[in-house]
Amino acid sequence: MSALRAAYDRGTRTPRGTGAAAGGVRRAGVRAALMALPLLFFAAFFAYPVGAIVTRGLHQGGSWQFGRIADVAGDAGIRHVLWFTCWQAAASTGLTLLVALPGAYAFARLDFPGRRLLRAVVTVPFVLPTVVAGSAFLALLGRDGFTDSLFGVRLDTSVWAILIAHVFFNYAVVVRTVGGLWAQLDPAQEEAARMLGASRFAAWRRVTLPALGPSVAAAALMVFLFTFTSFGVIQVLGGPMYSTLEVEIYRQTAEVFDLPTAAVLTLLQFAAVAAILALHGWTVRRRESALRLVDPALTAHRPRGAAERTLLGAVLAVVGVLILLPLGVLVARSFDTPSGYGLAFYRALGSTDGGTFSVAPWQTVGNSLRFAAIATVIALAVGGLAAAALVRRAGRLVRGFDALLMLPLGTSAVTVGFGFLIALDKPPLDLRDSWLLVPLAQALVGTPFVVRVMLPVLRAVDERLREAAAVLGASPWRVWREVELPLVSRAVAIAAGFAFAVSLGEFGATVFIARPDDPTLPVAVARLLGRAGALNYGQAMALSTVLMVVCAASLLVLESLRTTGSGEL
């Protein structure tokens, strides 16, 4: 028996072994080719500019100022900021997962009227300038706000305001990342577990949760990085008592002009982000496994039973209070003119009289859409290639590549913006005055989303499918096109939606990239908000409302592209 077994092993292993060796070399070649463009992109538009600004800070007067690292890192105030930055990000991430995971389930698996529209709407906060959304949030948590009039609790200027606002902004990250995979998980497996006698919870815990693990980790990582670099929320809702590394770096770079300190803070930020990436890599490694992916249209069902109806009710209530209410406040303000409710602010968006721009404010819609479309294409190309290269796990080097792609999310926007300015000013990269700089900066933030959304799904594609296709003589390109792409087209659409939304809302780096009069929507909103008067404020609200509608409409269009594409799965 054991001899037979050994013979069988030998018999199967030998050919597989040689095949794997040959395939291994070929795969490494393919991987290197796939990685080339993303690497080049990150080297040119991230590593080089950020390196330049950090070097400028640490290399002063002809010598390296490494002493500054110890000075700044040893400062009690800075250590406090670092601690607060980390724990608020961790707490925000935990809270977001807690609130949004039931939402991910409801949006993925339950069929209810208005589901598609609502899924687009919950993504809207993601693109809103934090100053605007923060102000609306005061209507929820501030004086005479929702919590105050209902429970007599004012949460503004408390750390809770920051945490809850972070949930508001990142709800969609979890719903879309986790929900995207959840919708494609074959419900038959959980049903099988239940048939075999597992309780509903046990079946969920043992079958569904492990399958979702990688995408939950991916969502958690993105929420963490986003809240780790939180700026506007901290300023508007936390007030001057709270400060994050991001706020400090902004202050040191843009206000105090202490570049050495800013450089050390940037390095600290890198160190913290690297630690979190390592933790994420460690958690996810080997958790990802091939899953049975099915057409999402087949998995959704009308809510059945009291439990599902309660869950759906709770999810809708949370969405209503946490997301729709603040958004509604902004919309209401955009119509609330000094002479009663009307369209005066919207009409003003069409004129150049306000002085804020030499173009009419509504034209920024065109700028934003154009930049976001280009940024989305760049992010999809770079992120898609990177994800394809990362599908098959490999050594440390490739894992480092994965981490590198995430770094821009955890890097201060002011560092990137100033870095662009001093690094990309000479041939061959003389882009300082080019319009391309804006979509490039936006794509830098969009790419990590593309990678994180696509990777769990790509890795879930059963390796045997690829091998079968390869054995039948398909080229790697053909395998990708005919085997993987159909299975991941939903993920592509979700990734594109993210990249688009991120670009539409990107403010931090864009605001520092001075361009002749083609401001994006968020920059225009910020300019209007910076001026006194009913007309300017009203226009800021109206333009924010336009931004919301543009975002929701774009996402709906992207989703409908996906539906027509995956109908035959």
Sign (positive or negative) of CA dihedral 370, 375, 378, 379? negative
Q: Which amino acid is at 265?
A: L
Residue 214 tokens, joined: 């990688």
Applying the rule CB under 8 A, the residues between 48 and 107 that interact with another protein are 56
Integer Cα distance of 189 and 197 in angstroms:
13
Q: How far is the CB of 310 from another protein (least distance, A)?
A: 34
Applying the rule CB under 8 A, the residues between 374 and 413 that interact with another protein are 374, 376-377, 380
C-beta of 65 vs 208, nearer to another protein: 65
**Cis ω for the linkage preceding 439 (within 30 of 0):** no
Q: How far is the CB of 33 from another protein (least distance, A)?
A: 19
CA distances from 108 to 118, 149, 201, 301 (A): 12, 34, 18, 10
Integer Cα distance of 290 and 468 in angstroms:
15
Applying the rule CB under 8 A, the residues between 534 and 563 that interact with another protein are 534-538, 561
CB 495 within 8 A of CB 405: no
* Options 192, 314, 422, 471; binder of another protein; rule CB under 8 A: 422
Q: Is 433 in the site for another protein (CB under 8 A)?
A: yes
Q: How far is the CB of 187 from another protein (least distance, A)?
A: 22
* Options 254, 294, 394, 474; binder of another protein; rule CB under 8 A: 254
Applying the rule CB under 8 A, the residues between 498 and 537 that interact with another protein are 511-518, 523, 526-527, 529-537
Q: How far is the CB of 447 from another protein (least distance, A)?
A: 16
* Options 1, 62, 428, 564; binder of another protein; rule CB under 8 A: 564
C-beta of 276 vs 492, nearer to another protein: 492
CA distances from 253 to 56, 191, 266, 567 (A): 12, 56, 11, 51
Applying the rule CB under 8 A, the residues between 121 and 140 that interact with another protein are 131, 134-135, 138-139
206's CB contacts (< 8 A; 6+ apart) are: 193, 198
- Burial class for 305, CB neighbours closer than 10 Å (0-12, 13-18, 19+): exposed
Q: How far is the CB of 535 from another protein (least distance, A)?
A: 4
Q: How far is the CB of 234 from another protein (least distance, A)?
A: 8
The helix/strand/coil state of 155 is coil
* Options 239, 281, 303, 476; binder of another protein; rule CB under 8 A: 239
* DSSP letter string, 84-108: HHHHHHHHHHHHHHHHHHHHHHHHH
Q: Which amino acid is at 359?
A: V
Q: Whose structure tokens read 């968006």? A: 349
Q: How far is the CB of 287 from another protein (least distance, A)?
A: 28
Q: How far is the CB of 204 from another protein (least distance, A)?
A: 31
Applying the rule CB under 8 A, the residues between 480 and 499 that interact with another protein are 481-482, 485-486, 489, 492, 496
C-beta of 85 vs 536, nearer to another protein: 536
* Options 93, 261, 367, 442; binder of another protein; rule CB under 8 A: 367
The enclosing H or E element of 410 equals none
CA distances from 313 to 86, 112, 201, 320, 385 (A): 33, 11, 20, 10, 40
Applying the rule CB under 8 A, the residues between 260 and 319 that interact with another protein are none
Encoded one letter per residue, x for contact with another protein by CB under 8 A and - for no contact, window 142-181 reads: xxxx------------------------------------
C-beta of 373 vs 556, nearer to another protein: 373
* Options 200, 257, 307, 341; binder of another protein; rule CB under 8 A: 257
Q: Which amino acid is at 247?
A: V
